[in-house]
Structure 1
Amino acid sequence: MPTDLTPPAPSVTTTAPPGGASTPGEGTRLRGNLGVASVVFMVTAAASPLGVIGGPVPLGIAGGNGTGFPATYLVAGAVLLFFAIGFTAMTPHGTATGAFSSYVDRGLGRGAGLGAGFAALLSYLTLEAGIYGLIGPGVDSLLVGAHVPSVPWWVYALSTLALVAFLGYRDIELSGTVLAVGLVSEVLIVVVFDAVVLFTGGESGLSSGIVSPRQIMSGAPGIGVLFAILSFIGFEAAAVFRDEARDPARTIPRATYLSLALVSVFYAVSSWALITAVGDRHAVGTATGSGGTMLADATRRYLGTVGGHLVQVLFVTSLFAGILAFHNIVARYVFALSGRGALPRSLGVAHPRFRSPHRASNATTAVIAALLLISVIAGLDPVTRVYAWLTSFASVGVVLLYAMTSAAVVVFFARHRAHRTWAWPNTVAPGLGLVGLLAFLALILRNLTALVGGSTALTIGIPALLAAALLLGPVLARRAAGNGL
């Protein structure tokens, strides 16, 4: 285990937040000792590598550009690299927890920053809640295979929520340790699978789709890009942990670049290996007909029965890692917005011992529990409704926030020339990222109806709710200014 997971001596700022009660020893700043490796584990776990290979990859192959789909990860990774260059250039100037909120605040003003914070909170919250719709049936399927009687999906979902609530309440190093173990295990099994498939040549030789322009542009490449960009959500969260990083100015940029590089290569190579495993001629048909078991079936074929069972287990642990990572991100957005007076101030204090946003974490748990209970009462299917609907909301929200952040970087350095270093990280790269991200956002909105199962209400409601969140920021900012805050 990395030595940077060793917690420091307890230390918190003891100033109570204005307008809210605080018990002795609680503070308004988080503390931690996270180094580059720890932050990389945190944010890469949020990207849920095994969950992506078993989920969005078959969907991208089936509904997107078929055997050319692996190349879309390289395209999406290139656009996000431009975003990351500007994003990390802003790291020394975004001094508050809550990356999107802080960065947009610095570039576009307090109102826009608060709006971005609410939009980010909603996006990550719906993404966390959506994954519960996968882990419930996933655990049930796994245990039924071990001859355990089947139970409703929400039993396992709520059990998972209880464990996540416990870990979210405690210090971030504990979550980092749990995520590190799970992440190493899931990445290792996929790497072994990739190596065996590529070494043996797969079903009919190595797939050529990844380097074939005709295949890359075949089918619906827009849908392919949509699933590719959805797979990356979470890599940008490194900046959320800046207050708990050992040296934020160095740790956050390094962790962001390393996370992006790792997941880009991992997704491109692993999706290419999965296609090679079933063969170019059968890839689209297999992904369409049995996408949910495509990875498990291929692993069982190349790694044996034990390998197939291991993938099933690690798929569930991958989903758990994603839930835990997003829970920590949501709690820190609640903490940041509370500290700025946009949410009750009492949520913006750190635990005296664990230095964690414990109250914000508890509030997050309560909201997730409410969403799950509503889903159960409404009789929603956990996969086709809970997961599909909520992650569609998240994909729109996060890509919108990527674009807003890129715009904020360009504006900030244009207004503060004293902070500029050179044009590439301050203007050119974020500008290119903004253009690419707006194109991605247009693709997602164009295909949103298909993503939400043809629901007109959701097609209209998702952008409307995000717009309301963004508009809430300026309203609160003007009210605070009127009160002299």
Structure 2
Amino acid sequence: MVAASGPLYAIAGGVTATYAVTGVVGVPLSFVLLAPVLALFAVGYAAMSRYITGAGAFYPYVVNGLGRPAGVAISFVALVAYNGIQISVYGLFGWSLSNWLNPLLGLDTPWWLWALAIALVIGTLGVLRVDLNAKVLGVVLLLECAVIVVTDLALLGSPDGGGAPSLVPLAPSSLFTTGVGAVFAFSVAVFTGFEGAASYSEEVRDPRRTVARATFLAVALTAVLYTLSALAMADAAGPANVVGAAQAQGPGLLFGLNAQRLGSVFSDVSYVLFLTSQFASLLSFHNAIARYFFALGREGVLPEALARTNRRTGAPAAGSLLQTALGLVVVAVFAIAGRDPFTELFSWLGTMASTGVVFVLAAVSVSVIGFFRRREHDEPAWRHTTAPALAAVALLVILVLILWNFDVLLGTAGDSPLRWILPGILLLAAVIGLVRGSVLRSRKPEVYAGIGKVE
């Protein structure tokens, strides 16, 4: 779970983007505050996963907690959100590789060339059913964590101006200012992936315990890594300088700081892991989205053509090709428009996606309450009502803050149409999902009855 979310690329790309776009210094505190909210969500989510085993997507949870129309609506929002995350990383990868290779080899290649190339590579691997197994991801994760820990220790040990590390980034006044909602949007985006444990519930010895433990450990590990890394980055650059440095250098900020303290060789190795981290995340998200298309096509929620698989490999070929096509189109549009791959493609789609994820998490929390009210169980009230209710309230507050500060997220003027277009895409997806569910209920009742069905 943690390896697929790419902690090194989340820190070098996501945390840096948070500083650069929001202009807020209190980024480390956002992780401290967000982790308990996600842990509250995990309490109810893990409890429900004991009864809905093997469900890789969120919509079966909502179907069994709030009903099929709501479940279809959430499935469409989740599909848009996870496609947004996937496609946003194409922009980051293209930026990262071009900025690394151009000076190294004396080339002058545009970011979009590498973004389109990696999209084709990922799409091909998806059709061929190539995936990274847990051992490969585990090795990459250990290397990433080692680099992060060494870098954090070096940065915290030599802050800008000398002396002791500054705690200014952890002060409430550094976070709760204009743009706080934008900070939470980015922070949710880098946490995305922690919720994947339930996908493995059929493959573990004791899903009633393992799913919950894995989810809590994922939240705890990433929260610690992100908090310390964001603090270390701010202290090494200087709390007063970190925003400007992030805006000027982008993801290169982290590697420039560790090169100053640990040498160019360590920095180069870190950058290679930064690229492999993005690759692992791209492939993991691509395969998950392709299977999401496949599942919705198989159930008749989306066109049945999406349920087609590769005859030789069994991979969800139609879903893989559709996801690749979407990525190529979006990258091409941003390239033709001359938009920035980091502050616009990566940041815009990433924040739109995280907005959708917050909405979906809130819906799942409410679904947990509805699910347990409709069936007999032996779960304590903390798991089936109290924790999910607290999580839903907290997530809805965060959602309101995100929407309130959406212009900050985009780095545009408050009257920019994008301020409404991007959240509007999520709302449109939900409305289309509700309509689709209603149409299936009236015209294809047998298909409707099978939506989100749990054996």
TM-score normalised to structure 1 length: 0.82
TM-superposition CA deviations, 1:146-196 (whole Å, max 9, x none): 224122222211221222123323457535455434333322211111223
Instruction: Write the distance in 2 (CA, Å) between the matches of 1:326 and 1:178.
Output: 16
Q: Tell me, which stretches of 5 or more residues in structure 1 are unaligned?
A: 1-39
Deviation at 1:138, TM superposition (A): 1.2
Deviation at 1:219, TM superposition (A): 6.5
Say yes or no: does 1:113 pair with 2:71: yes
Instruction: Write the distance in 1 (CA, Å) between the matches of 2:193 and 2:47.
Output: 19
Match of 1:484 in 2: 445
The verdict on how the C-alpha distance between 1:279 and 1:376 changes in structure 2, with shifts beyond 3 A counting, is closer
Instruction: Write the distance in 2 (CA, Å) between the matches of 1:384 and 1:70.
Output: 20
Q: Tell me, which stretches of 5 or more residues in structure 2 are unaligned?
A: 447-455
Deviation at 1:414, TM superposition (A): 2.1
Q: Is the 8 A contact 2:87 2:327 kept in 1?
A: yes
Instruction: Write the distance in 2 (CA, Å) between the matches of 1:82 and 1:252.
Output: 14
For residue 380 of structure 1, what is the amino acid of its counterpart?
R
Instruction: Write the distance in 2 (CA, Å) between the matches of 1:359 and 1:244.
Output: 26
Say yes or no: does 1:313 pair with 2:265: no
Q: How many residues align?
A: 442
Say yes or no: does 1:230 pair with 2:196: no
The verdict on how the C-alpha distance between 1:308 and 1:170 changes in structure 2, with shifts beyond 3 A counting, is same
Say yes or no: does 1:183 pair with 2:141: yes
Instruction: Write the distance in 2 (CA, Å) between the matches of 1:458 and 1:296.
Output: 32
**Within 5 A, what are the aligned runs for 1:62-141?**
67-95=25-53, 97-141=55-99
Which of residues 327, 332, 335 is equivalent to 1:373?
A: 332
For residue 414 of structure 1, what is the amino acid of its counterpart?
R
Task: Report the secondary structure of 1:205's partner residue.
Answer: coil
Instruction: Write the distance in 2 (CA, Å) between the matches of 1:197 and 1:441.
Output: 33
Instruction: Write the distance in 2 (CA, Å) between the matches of 1:367 and 1:476.
Output: 21
The verdict on how the C-alpha distance between 1:129 and 1:78 changes in structure 2, with shifts beyond 3 A counting, is same
**Within 5 A, what are the aligned runs for 1:21-420?**
40=1, 44-61=2-19, 67-95=25-53, 97-171=55-129, 174=132, 176-199=134-157, 203-209=162-168, 212-215=171-174, 217=176, 220-240=179-199, 249-348=208-307, 356-416=315-375, 418-420=376-378
For residue 337 of structure 1, what is the amino acid of its counterpart?
L
Match of 1:15 in 2: none
Say yes or no: does 1:458 pair with 2:418: yes
Match of 1:473 in 2: 433
Q: Is the 8 A contact 1:68 1:218 kept in 2?
A: no
Instruction: Write the distance in 2 (CA, Å) between the matches of 1:314 and 1:182.
Output: 8
Identity, % of aligned pairs? 36
Match of 2:450 in 1: none
Which of residues 391, 396, 401 is equivalent to 1:443?
A: 401
The verdict on how the C-alpha distance between 1:276 and 1:401 changes in structure 2, with shifts beyond 3 A counting, is same
Deviation at 1:293, TM superposition (A): 2.8
Instruction: Write the distance in 2 (CA, Å) between the matches of 1:116 and 1:158.
Output: 29
Deviation at 1:356, TM superposition (A): 4.0
Instruction: Write the distance in 1 (CA, Å) between the matches of 2:172 and 2:94.
Output: 39
Deviation at 1:137, TM superposition (A): 2.0
Task: Report the secondary structure of 1:99's partner residue.
Answer: coil
TM-score normalised to structure 2 length: 0.87
Deviation at 1:250, TM superposition (A): 4.9
The verdict on how the C-alpha distance between 1:241 and 1:124 changes in structure 2, with shifts beyond 3 A counting, is farther
The verdict on how the C-alpha distance between 1:354 and 1:142 changes in structure 2, with shifts beyond 3 A counting, is same
Tell me which moved more, 227-236 or 79-88.
Answer: 227-236
Task: Report the secondary structure of 1:341's partner residue.
Answer: coil
